Amino acid sequence: NNSSQLSSLPLQILLYVNGIYYIFYFLASLAMLIYKSQVFSYPDDFLAPDLAVLFLMAILEVPRLYLGFSGNLTEAEVPLGLSLGLTVGSVVLCVYLLLWQTYVLRADVLLNAVLLAAYGLESGLKVTAIAAFVS
Amino acid sequence: PADIRDAAQARVRSAPPPVTDVARLCVCDLLVAQCDVNCCCDPDCSAQDFSLFTACSVPVVTGDSRLCSQKAAVYSLDVEANPPERKFELIDQVNPSIFCIHATNYKQALYLKSPEIPTPENFDLLLDKFGGATFSAEPDTWNLDTDAENAPDANETYRYEYGVPVQTEDAFLRLPSPVVSSWCSDANPAGFLVNQATKCIRSVSVEKCDSIQALSMLFYINSSILASVFQVNITVESIIVQSLSGTRTLLNSSDVLRVPMVLDEVCINAVLGVNYHITHTDTGEIIEAAAAFVLGAISKEALSIEQSFQISFTQENTQPVALSGNPGYVVGLPVRAGFRPQGYPFPAAFLFAALALSSNKHSQLTILQSTQDCLAAQGARAPVLFGYNMVSGCKLRITAAMKCQPLAQTLLDVLKGQSFPEYVASFGNSQAQDVLDWVPITQLHISEQMISNTLQSSCQIPVSLGIEVKWTKYGSLVNPQARIVNVTATITTTTLKQLPSGRERIIPITSSVVFTDISSPAQPGYKAWPTINIKLPFDFFYPFV
């Protein structure tokens, strides 16, 4: 990092790519849920939690990314910390979709694994960024 | 003994656990303790049996093929070895698709649910769920729906559709009819717009005739029909009384209710026939219902009587006339015809120029029915059925004493009938009010001797009537309707030569009906080819143009 600029460029790039990837992930997961509900035996009380988790994750993603962007650019550690907290929640939901969904297809595994890796990398970069801002 | 019984019951209560190990699953193992032919997975087969097989009927046993990775048991016959032996392998089958099921957290996803074994405790519940004609997940809501249907909504008008049973206060409008045997069954409901006529036998006894419900008029008119906001009572239209000998008399007053009673060992006022006439609107609401009764007498010896029932539906403000097709004529149904009432000009206002159609007999085009002797004919005529060409005739014996003019008139009556119609309906369902739907009959006279003698006074007698009906196919190509376009009635006359006295001559008189199809071949309609409109902008070639 340049000594005058504390914002983390890799974090910025990663957040940007995460945003684009998340849109694709959300649409693909929703399409696959619809496909699963038609092809497999999917009673309503198993379909409802899966749908709820997917939509909750989408709702969490928006403030998470926004706080990440603004925190990194303004070099403020509070938004970045909040974003980190929301990331933890997103990770939990992602793990649910990876392991505890009613039907986990191979495509589900791939999508969620990539997202989980992105979250993990982001969290690491956010921690170093916060450390840089604080110090 | 008690605990053994309990143990046996406990064993029966639970179904055997499902087999999920592919190595032990065998679909073709049908015979118990015996080797099934060509079944490579059968555990009852020995190596000797395997050597006699030609092929494996079940080569692979797997679970759900949509799983990403699963075990599969592969059976094959090694025919090259001597003797042939069966090979069994347990392999891991991998599904290459990206949408294969990696894992499920829903136990019933891949296996059929084990059915509940009925016990005295859950028997009633299972019977409710699965005892009916259809299975329903929630039997309670199903019952609620039928209750809501039965309670009539006061604001909603009750509309009937074709075939729906006509509902009355307590049940349905009954039309007793023979079911299985000829005995009357009272549980046959009358369907809306379904004209029915049934005959059935009812067992009676004269002593108990006033207590048999089905012999009394009340049984047929006491319940009122549910229709619209109000209920329609069944009125008594007419009562015909039939005596023991069979003579029928129409009663003047039909508002007196007659109940069966025993009089001199004869039961009178017993219902022998009911004829329901229901009037409805064009939206399916019943507005009137009337019943015409035939009451008769039952003698002491009679053990059973035959009852006949009929129901007919008429739309309000229309004449009840049988349609010959809807709208095009149906082959085999009578051609409908009619007259223009006297004094009405044609084609004046439609209100006045309605054609007169009375009962069935006179509203049909009829043709002479073949007999031996024309003059002895009783006037029996046969209706002209659409599409059926008919020829009929009779023989006329001419003696010297016969006068020409009356003979000609008689023959004309014989050929044409008492009331030869003037118009024929062009469609099978033409209404009498629509004058333009009716085709006038063109009458032609042809004299057989074209080389006419100058003596026109020598009389001509008609010898043949030929009706030619020209029809065409009308409407769409896939469902063409027959429509009558032209009707021509040609009377051919011939000169009657005076016979020397004592001589007789027999001449044949014929009448015929011919149906000719004059439909022009269908012209397919094509959509216009799409045009490509390419226009360059005004200043495309600027600055050259």
Hey, of A33, A40, A106, which one would you mutate to test binding to chain B, going by the most B CBs within 10 A of its CB?
Answer: A106
> B427-474: per-residue pLDDT in tens?
988 877 777 888 999 999 888 765 555 455 577 888 899 999 999 998
Using a CB-CB cut-off of 8 Å, the residues of chain A touching B101 are: 40, 103-105
Residue B347: what pLDDT? 41
Q: pLDDT, tens digit, for every residue of A37-48?
A: 998 888 888 999
- Whether A102 and B109 lie within 8 Å, measured CB to CB: yes
DSSP label of B72 = E
For residue B7, what pLDDT band results from cuts at 50, 70 and 90? low
Contact A105 B104 (CB under 8 A): no
Band the pLDDT of B300: cuts 50, 70, 90: confident
| pLDDT at B109 exceeding the cut of 80 | no
Chain B residues interacting with chain A (CB cutoff of 8 angstroms) = 68, 97-106, 108-109
* Nearest chain B Cα distance for residue A95, angstroms: 14
Q: Are B443 and B450 in contact (CB under 8 A)?
A: no
Whether the predicted pLDDT of B343 surpasses 60: no
Q: Three-state DSSP class for A57? A: helix
* Mean pLDDT of the A92-118 span: 95
Q: Do A107 and B105 touch (CB under 8 A)?
A: no
- Amino acid (one-letter) located at B313: F
Question: Cβ B99–A102 below 8 Å, yes or no?
Answer: no
Give me the interface pTM, i.e. the ipTM: 0.86
Contact criterion met (CB < 8 Å) for A104 and B104? yes
Residues of B in contact with A33 (CB under 8 A): none
pLDDT of res. B355: 45
Q: Is the pLDDT of residue A122 over 50?
A: yes
Q: Which of A103, A107, A110 sits opposite B104 (nearest CB)?
A: A103
Strands B248-250 and B266-280: unpaired
| Lowest mean pLDDT across A108-117, B168-177, B195-204, B509-518 | B168-177
Residue B47: the pLDDT is 86
Number of domains in chain A: 1
Question: What's the Rg (C-alpha) of chain B?
Answer: 40
Select from B98, B108, B109 the Cβ nearest to the Cβ of A103. B109
**CA-based nearest distance A66→chain B, Å:** 33
Which percentage of chain A shows pLDDT scores above 70? Answer: 98
Strongest mean pLDDT among A115-119, B185-189, B380-384, B499-503: A115-119
d(CA B236, CA B507): 54
Whether A4 is in a domain gets the answer: no
Q: Which of A32, A41, A106 is closest, CB to CB, to B100? A: A106
A32·B99 Cβ contact <8 A: yes
Residue A6 predicted with pLDDT over 70 = yes
Nearest of B306, B298, B293, B235 to residue B261 by alpha carbon: B298
* Residue B146 or residue B405, greater confidence: B405
Q: Mean of the pLDDT values across residues B285-292?
A: 88
Partner residue facing A105 (CB), from B99, B105, B106: B99
Domain ranges, residue A77: 9-134
The dihedral sign for the CA sequence B343, B346, B350, B353: positive
Cα–Cα dist B352/B374, whole Å:
39
From chain A, pick out residues whose CB is under 8 angstroms from the CB of B68: 106
For residues A65-81, give the mean pLDDT.
Answer: 93
| Cβ–Cβ gap A108/B98 under 8 Å | no
Q: Which of A38, A40, A97 is the best residue to mutate to test the B interface, defined by the most B CB atoms within 10 Å of its own CB?
A: A40
Nearest Cα residue to A82 out of A64, A58, A94: A64
* pLDDT of A71 above 90: yes
B109 to chain A: closest CA residue: A41
Q: At what angle do helices A9-39 and A106-134 cross, to 10 degrees?
A: 160
Q: What is the pLDDT of residue B10?
A: 54
Contacts of residue A106 in chain B, CB cutoff 8 Å? 68, 97-100, 102
**pLDDT tens profile B20-60:** 788 888 888 888 888 888 888 888 888 888 888 888 888 89
pLDDT at B358: 35
- The separation between the first and the last C-alpha atoms of chain B, rounded to the nearest angstrom, is 116
pLDDT at B344 over 60: no
Chain B nearest-CA distance from A106, in A, is: 5
Domain boundaries along the sequence of chain B: 22-94, 164-315, 333-449+457-517
Q: What is the pTM of this model?
A: 0.41
Task: Tell me B281's DSSP state.
Answer: -
- How many A-B residue pairs are in contact by the CB < 8 A criterion? 40
A104–B102 C-beta distance less than 8 A: yes
Residue A31 has pLDDT above 80, yes or no: yes
Residue contact B105–A102, C-beta within 8 A: yes
A116 vs B371, more confident = A116
Lowest mean pLDDT among A59-63, A106-110, B102-106: B102-106
Which chain B residue is nearest to residue A41, measuring alpha carbons? B109
Structural domain includes residue A78: yes
Hey, which bits of B302-401 come out as E strands? 304-315, 337-338, 366-368, 381-383, 390-399
Q: Do A108 and B106 touch (CB under 8 A)?
A: no
| pLDDT exceeds cutoff 50 at B352 | no
Residue A1 lies in a domain: no
In chain B, residues with a C-beta closer than 8 Å to the C-beta of A104 are 101-105
User: Is the Cβ pair A41, B108 closer than 8 Å?
Assistant: yes
Q: Does some domain include residue A35?
A: yes
Q: Which of B102, B106, B109 sits opposite A105 (nearest CB)?
A: B102
Indicate whether A108 belongs to any domain.
yes
Nearest CA in chain A to B64: A40
pLDDT at A84 over 90: yes
What local confidence, expressed as pLDDT, does residue B116 receive?
80
Q: What is the pLDDT of residue B117?
A: 84
Across all residues in chain A, what is the average pLDDT?
93
